[in-house]
Amino acid sequence: MSSRIEIFQQMLASEPDNAPVRYGLANELMKAERFAEAAAEFEAYLKQADDEGAGYGMLARAYEMTGARDKARAALEQGIKAAETHGHAHTMAQDYRMALETEYVDD
């Protein structure tokens, strides 16, 4: 039986521009703690999709888990912009601001 990661990879092989499938693959990679691979897939997803902010938060988490804190911080900043653009200024954008202020202080 194929793993969920393999299923998503097979789907992407036939439809490489399918952004939701790429997001799904990235999520499965996160669950498998394959954070560097997940970050690469989230990066590819964000190049394809008009994300409302959640993808940037997931990318930040993947970066954080690989120790790339500067990249995580930059992803959250991009996530704030995306969230505000899509009307999530008082929810997602605020959560990302709070993370920047509390988790990424004095690196």
3-state secondary structure of 91: coil
Separation between Cα atoms, residue 48 and residue 1, nearest integer Å: 30
Domains of the chain: 4-103 (1.25.40.10)
Q: What is the pLDDT of residues 4-44, one digit of tens each?
A: 999 999 999 999 999 999 999 999 999 999 999 999 999 99
Separation between Cα atoms, residue 17 and residue 36, nearest integer Å: 21
Q: State residue 106's pLDDT score.
A: 56
Q: What percent of the chain has pLDDT over 90?
A: 90
Q: What is the pLDDT of residues 34-70, one digit of tens each?
A: 999 999 999 999 999 999 999 999 999 999 999 999 9
Q: Are 4 and 28 in contact (CB under 8 A)?
A: yes
CA angle 55, 61, 63 (to 5 degrees): 105
Q: Which of 63, 58, 52 is nearest to 104 (CA)?
A: 63
pTM: 0.92
